[in-house]
């Protein structure tokens, strides 16, 4: 790998961070801890995941918390879950896959173990001359991705909570949230549900303020973390270490000190660096603080997701919390990091 001046600056900052944390009460007991059994962490190779993976690698949180990790990248929205269900991976820490509870109900040997990003980093965009309110979406074409996929499900939940008849809206599958945004920009759709990374775009679509999902759906957990039952049983201590490392990363991401490291990591993760997009993500992390150092979820958090899935028909019944979730590793990790 070629080390240019920017990369050297990044590594100096990362090194300084490591030294600073090592001097504090959080990391000192764990730097000398021997690495535990290997934990296979699977993620989707999208830009946001790639950025977090780059930061985790450069900042050394795995080493700090004694994690023996192997990162596995599997494409597609179902890819990470499928890998865990068939025993090819142990845990997914960052997933927007919205059928986790459905797959568990169907018998997959997996449990939700916590959260990645807790607040929904999505909003509703529309053509500049298009709908200005959620009510005005009636009779319009809205790009949401696959039927009952994440974007579609969240839109249906939003309409339900706002008392708007979703059957009066034409939802169209235009692919990923980036492709949905492009569909609005090109005039192929009137509005879309898409990532907040587009908030600074000059392509034309503008955000409908009432469609900021982190505000409109405050009870909805955006990204769950899940692990195999085998990993929860046989590699529990390793999962605790993994969750402690991610909790530390998320805490750092929401601090002003992470600015340079975040932008450098994103530049390496993105072939053609998009500065406005990176700034939108950075600003969201700072102002909305969508993560938490404590990754655990409550019965209420899981209940909301179950009710949402039952409402759209992807889940048939509410299962007891202990049958679908296990927060023991997240709780232990929070105690470890203080």
Domain of 168: which CATH number? 3.40.190.10
Say yes or no: 76 and 92 in one domain: yes
Do the beta carbons of residue 76 and residue 113 sit within 8 Å?
Answer: no
Q: Which residue has the tokens 């955006």?
A: 222
Say yes or no: 329 and 306 in one domain: yes
pLDDT of amino acid 36: 66
Say yes or no: 12 and 103 in one domain: yes
DSSP state letter for 169: S
Domain end residue (candidates: 216, 233, 253)? 216
Domain end residue (candidates: 194, 216, 238)? 216
Do the beta carbons of residue 150 and residue 96 sit within 8 Å?
Answer: yes
Rounded to whole angstroms, how far apart are CA atoms 84 and 93? 12
Say yes or no: 162 and 241 in one domain: no
Say yes or no: 10 and 159 in one domain: no
- The tally of domains found in the chain comes to 2
Q: Which domain holds residue 285?
A: 5-118+221-337
DSSP state letter for 250: H
Do the beta carbons of residue 117 and residue 293 sit within 8 Å?
Answer: no
| pLDDT mean by block of 10 residues, the chain; 338 residues | 39 42 36 65 91 91 94 93 97 94 98 97 96 97 96 98 97 95 97 97 92 97 97 96 97 96 93 94 97 97 98 97 98 88
pLDDT of amino acid 338: 67
Domain end residue (candidates: 216, 241, 263)? 216
Say yes or no: 232 and 90 in one domain: yes
Say yes or no: 179 and 327 in one domain: no
pLDDT of amino acid 7: 45
pLDDT of amino acid 45: 87
pLDDT of amino acid 186: 96
pLDDT of amino acid 21: 39
DSSP state letter for 122: E
Buried b (16+ CB within 10 A) or exposed e, 153-191: bbbbbbbeeeebebeebebbebebbbebbbbbbeeebbb
Helices (H), the chain: 5-23, 28-31, 47-59, 61-64, 79-85, 100-105, 150-161, 177-186, 213-216, 229-234, 236-253, 259-269, 275-288, 299-312, 321-324, 328-337
Say yes or no: 245 and 309 in one domain: yes
For residue 194, list its beta bridge partners: 123
Say yes or no: 32 and 139 in one domain: no
Say yes or no: 20 and 85 in one domain: yes
pLDDT of amino acid 167: 97
Say yes or no: 154 and 273 in one domain: no
Say yes or no: 181 and 228 in one domain: no
């Amino acid at each position: 790998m070629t080390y240019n001046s920017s990369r050297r600056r990044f590594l100096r900052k990362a090194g300084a961070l490591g030294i600073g944390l090592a001097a504090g009460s959080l990391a000192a007991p764990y730097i000398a801890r021997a690495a535990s059994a290997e934990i296979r962490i699977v993620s989707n190779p999208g830009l946001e995941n790639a950025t977090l993976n780059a930061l985790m690698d450069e900042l050394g949180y795995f080493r700090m918390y004694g994690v023996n990790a192997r990162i596995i990248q599997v494409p597609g929205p179902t890819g990470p879950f499928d890998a865990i269900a068939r025993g090819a991976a142990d845990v997914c820490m960052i997933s927007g896959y919205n059928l986790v509870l459905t797959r568990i109900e169907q018998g997959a040997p997996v449990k939700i173990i916590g959260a990645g990003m807790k607040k929904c980093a999505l909003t509703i965009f529309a053509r500049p001359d298009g709908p200005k309110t959620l009510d005005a979406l009636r009779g319009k074409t809205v790009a949401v991705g696959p039927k009952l996929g994440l974007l579609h499900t969240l839109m249906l939940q939003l309409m339900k909570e706002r008392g708007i008849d979703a059957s009066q809206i034409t939802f169209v599958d235009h692919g990923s949230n980036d492709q949905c945004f492009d569909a609005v920009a090109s005039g192929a759709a009137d509005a879309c549900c898409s990532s907040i990374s587009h908030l600074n775009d000059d392509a034309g679509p503008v955000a409908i303020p009432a469609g900021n999902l982190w505000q409109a759906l405050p009870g909805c957990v955006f990204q769950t973390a899940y692990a195999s039952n085998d990993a929860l049983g046989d590699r529990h201590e390793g999962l605790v270490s993994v969750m402690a490392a991610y909790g530390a990363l998320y805490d750092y991401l929401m601090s002003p000190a992470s600015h340079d490291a975040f932008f450098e990591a994103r530049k390496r993760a993105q072939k053609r660096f998009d500065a406005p997009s990176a700034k939108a993500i950075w600003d969201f992390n700072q102002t909305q603080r969508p993560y938490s150092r404590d990754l655990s979820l409550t019965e209420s958090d899981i209940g909301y997701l179950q009710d949402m899935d039952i409402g759209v028909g992807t889940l048939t019944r509410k299962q007891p919390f202990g049958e679908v979730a296990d927060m023991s590793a997240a709780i232990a990790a929070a105690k470890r990091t203080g």
